[in-house]
Structure 1
Amino acid sequence: MLKPLKSCYIVRTNTITARRARSPMWNILLSTFRKQSLLNRLIMSFLLVIVCLAAFQFLSFSFFKKKVQQEIVKFSSLNLKYAAESYEKNLELIDTTIATLYFDEKMSLIMNDRSAGNFKILNLFASQLQRHVSGGQLYADDIVVYFGDTGTAISKEGIRSIGDLTSIELISDAYPASFWEEQVSNAYRYKWFPAAEFKRRTLDKQIVSRGEQFPIIYKNSLNPQMYFLVLLDARQTFKAFYRGIQDDFYIVNEEGDVLFHTDPSQLPEKKDLQAFASADEGNWSQGSNLHFYTKGKHSGLIYVSVVPNSTITAQLQQMNIVLLVILGAAVIVGIAISVFLSWRFHHPVQQIIKLIQKPNEALPTGSSINEFNIISGKIGDMMVINEEISNDLSRQNSIIKKYNYINKMKRIYSSYDKVEEDLLESGNPFYLVLYSMTFTNKLHKFSPEDQTRGIYYMDQFIQRSLMDDFPDAVTIQIEKDQILSLVFVKGHEQKDELLANLQGLKTIFDRDKDYCLVTIASDLVLRDSTEFTTAYEETLEMLQLRKMVPGTQLIVEPVPKSAHVLRVPSLDQEFAAHLQAGNETAIQTVDRLLRKLAGNEANLYQFTHLSREIIAAVMKALTAANIDADAMPGKESPYEKLKTCAVAEDYFVFFHEFLEASLYLIREKKAVQEPLKDSILNYIHRNYHKDISLETVADKFNLSSGYLSLFFKEKTQTNFLYYLNELRVNKAKELLLETNMKVHDIGEQVGFQSANSFIRLFKKFTGIPPGAFRRMNHKLE
């Protein structure tokens, strides 16, 4: 298309040259300007635009200089206000958390009994503190409950004395143990203290930093002898809440004391900080700095940011000079090149328009205008890049959608609230399928990277297998050992097709059963979007029905309401006695229970539940014998090792090794203990159902009641009455589950003198009354 235009241009030029032989170039341009040509209008338009832009830029520099300064002030004020509101909202969230913890039922039990014998409740409460801290929403590094009357504290790591806590977990030169002890007598509801660096001592005696922390103390007038201590991560909250780039930031209390600062060299004087506290918000200029301050409505704290005013002014002036120079040069160069570009732009402009309107047509090549060739090439590149960006966005949207599916299934709050909308918009019901992978010992020999890669390949294989029959299916890896598939169908049931597909997957997965045992669970019920979370939770329960035998298992029947399949044989008190005595009979008892489960083709839930009970009983026996659990061989927790058991035989091997090591430690410890303890415990276990007391047992063994009390507490880590009541409650639980006796008759049979005392103590140890305990367990039947 360019060749005819080029020919016309050559013919016209030759004609002018013939008419005006030896005429200069300006004569040609002059004749062109006299005509109403596109070239003429382009040149005049360029010049007019350049003049207007020059005038506009010159006026803009003068007018907007002050506007820019005002916008900087406005931005800094809004930035500080946002930071203050973020801090205040975080404090309100912490207040709510502390109130919840204070009125928690476990806190009430701890207030009544803070002895080491109440270690179950103490450990549960410490775990609750750990969950609040590890959630990340509070930006808190630790939450500590300090009891001034006993000098003990509960943190996320457990219960310690305040001296041990400040020498192990909360090491700080600014806040020694005496500081925390003094706060009990100081009168305030809650109080912030200046941020300081805290350290902790690791297991190998190394001292590592926990970072800069805000100590915040919360008190309650109902119990002045205790308070909650929250360690708020100062640097983490600053990074999360403050959006400034080079500004300095401070937090000050109403007395003018600085609680946090980023640059102490720019800190205002205390009298100025006190002046800030008397006003709600504003700004104040001092020397070359501009101070912005605002007061928190909830905490009363003063938030201050400092912006260097002189730097802003210098940068604006430098920017003005540079822009003026650039503008002047641009005007001169623009006038020069506008004529040239207009002349060159006239012919290809129509071709460019056609090229943009029809991008799929072949691009013209061989043009004599290099700019047009460059534009044509760039348009092609932009089309390729646009396609790549579109594909990349599609992949990222798929990843985000999978992530939010997982959030929805696990009831995790997310600002992305389109999961159910996506399901509703699709208009298609779905089946939900869960795949659980249990690695065998052969696969555990491979590296974690190889295991992770194997799960990824399985995920991709499942997706491709389902896509053959269900093009809209979505497969997501939701855990390191779990994969989920949402199988969307077109309005009618395809249960048989899905079952056939899953059976085909089972056959293929069985080829690798020596390395990985796969459990496939789906109730094959067609669901809609409102049942999304419910379907996931019900299918997750079905995974517990896996039989502990080799091979891939397909579970399509839901957990039955008459859940005898979930009943687990319980440990008797004799097992605990064998553990405490270090007798090998304990291994035989466990072996018998495991063989009973294996003979009944028990499922994963039954094996796991029984195994956890056994481990808990062993750990309790080790604790009662004053044996540190770290003395056990191996670095892994027994609960972690339990997860590696894939078949019933793995449980036998694990418990033989675990119990042999535990019993050896108990016997070794017992070899240096007095035989009196065993005699006393055996007497209690034989006579718990009688009216026995500390005094009667002391008389039996010719001891004083005071000496027996101290001796019993030293040897068992609990007091006599607590041990006796716990034994009676455990016996009562067995009778409630195994007989139809009335509640008050069971109470009398296990040694309680009245039904009221039996019900009260049963609820204290289990959290529910005896009747409710029986109903809950019989409901499964």
Structure 2
Amino acid sequence: MKLVPQGLKVFKQKSIFVKMLFVFNLFILIAILAFGYVSYTQSSSLLVEEVVKSNYKYVEQARDNIDETLTSLDNLSYQVSLQSQIRRALYLSETTWDQDQLLFLDIIKYLKSVKLSNTLISDIWIQFYRYPIVINQESKYNLNYFYDDIYKTDKSSGWEHPSPTHHGLNPIGRFQATTYGVSSSVITFERTVPLSEIKPMGGLYLNIKTDDFANRVQGASDPYPAFIYALDNNGEVVFNSKIRSDQDGLISSVKGAITEKVRGIGAREGYLEQTIAGHSYQILFTSSKVNDWTYISVVPTAFITEKANAIRQFTFVTAIICLIGGLIMSYFLINRIYSPISKIIGYINVLGRTPSNQNRTAKEDELGFIDRIINYVYYENESLRGSFEKNLPAFRQKFLYDLIEGRVSSANVQELAKEIQLDFSYDSFQVIVFETVDFSLEDKIGLHNRDILEIVDGRIAQLEDAHINVRSIRKRNDKIISLLNLDHPNPKPEVIHDFISKVISYFKQEHSRTFTVGIGNIYSSVEEVPLSYVEALSALQYKIVKGEGSVIFVDEVGKMPESSFSYSIEAEKHIINCVKTGNRLALQQHLHKLWGENLKQGDVTPEIITYLFQALVGTAIRTIYEVQSTTAEIFSDSIDLYREVNQQPRLEDKKEYIERMFQSISDWIHNKKQGQDNTLFNQIKDYVENNYHLDLSLTILGENIGLSPSYLSSIFKEVTGMNFVDYINTRRVEQAKIRLRQTQDTVVDISEQVGFTNSNTFIRVFKRHEGVTPGQFRQMYVKEDSK
């Protein structure tokens, strides 16, 4: 307790103790107050904003789930409408509809298979407009019997008023339907069929249970207490998520009021906060992308503010605790810091060795006084010696760099080495370069993070009677350069081998690190040290031949045989053809054969590898030229293929790059061919559209679109999906159907108008496509118009 009055006393003497205590406490107070204020005042609004953002994503996800389901049902209904048996049944008249029972049996089987394959569909049926029949997945029924006894709804579904115009799959409402005595809530969808006719001839109906739609939005709303429901264009609720709690029940009871507010805005999507029946709600809504439904998500505001209040209380209590604790800790911390300062001042005063008070200022505190004393002692007594000792390792490194790079002469080498405490006891020199494999010299080595240069130099001490001094330096982050000072009159090559082996073994066993080693020759003068260094670097270049992790002597490299690589014009043609045709397997076989012929162990040199891979890049560029493209179009403007392959560090990397390069060219050629096929299809379609009534042949078509008949014949089915005759006949039959409905021309005249030279051929082709003769087709429309 004596510290407080002592602190007040020294404060009058401009003590640093009270200043530091005041600054620390002020900082703690400001930080806690600022954090507490922001957290206390902004927690509610931030939580509301975050929940609204997150809930908007969930309602969009729910909408997208339903839209995806509706799109899938639309595609399915479209496929059903195209089914041949259904189309045939639609054309039956009132007098003939009950004469082909097998046809209806096939339709029943088909509808049952559709329902079984899509579990989302609870009911599916077809209502025929031309005769009073309904067919569902179970049987064929009389129209009135079906809607009175088999399928009953709580309100009119509008089946008694057939649609006069065509439309796709549209929702016609939510019903409480009873099918075969089983009641369920369903949403009914209708599609008019067939689309090929001017007026609908029937309706395809699908029932989806509202619970299935609810399940598809439930997953999206689980993370938040959101209640989601959907409205149709009339403001009626189509479906809603399941009631999971009393809270959801309360929201469900005010759906009408919420719906009225949302529809009053008149926007496709938006957000509003609304109070209804004394409760506040956060309301989000968005519109479907495939129909006129609106999806509404409701979150009670009370849920958010309840959490905000808890955060506020927690923030207030935490701020008070942190403030009190911070004040106490800052006091003891500052006292702990000040204690050694006070002792230093006391020791200086006891010694009585203080500098002159000439430069002392009135505002000087304890730290200023100590700083002045240290500056005095440093500059007056130990400045030069301390600076030298501090920079001695850097001086040694600089000297060794200059030595291997030829900037030190033999006349002053001993003098300089003695000044920086380097011992060159012997008269010969040799350079060894250790290059890292898959690691950096900046990596931590071992638990104690020992200096890697000390480890390398220390291996020589393990050799008996070595007569060698070793000094090592770093070169970038991947090379250690070791300068060996040797006893030339008594050279011991095995000692150098032992030194290298111990370095490699130590790093491999203790740290799982690997080096590639390049070794220069031994020289007897300082001026020749750079030659040994260059030779060691030259030996390292052969790592691409001998492999990383090898020990390579420059003398061994100089004895390698000179040879050239084998790459014939025929082999190049094979590779180009494989790339153009996309034959990846054959391309790999040719490349692997090339590797085997040129990259044999013991005969290969870096020059052979460089020339071989540059030749393969030339083949790639030649292939690009032959397909009338450029490297910039296939790769990018910044890619230089020659540079890229040269930068691959290992032989396997170069091989993989070459294979990827050829595959990229092959993929580009394939994609370009697909685009050309689309263009060709549009040319064929446009020409046939304008000339179907003429005598057409592949020869005539080829002349008009600029292709030979033989080539056009070989690719016609690949491009259009059918052969030439079927493609022309399909277009002619479609035109004939229009003339049969809209004109009184004879069948013979119409056959000539659409391009058939023989009316019998026309009748046969028409019946194969439509299932009826042209005359029967016209009669069906005459009877329909007379109704």
Q: Same fold (TM over 0.5)?
A: no
What TM-score, normalized to structure 1? 0.34
What TM-score, normalized to structure 2? 0.34
Structure (1 or 2) with the larger CA radius of gyration: 2
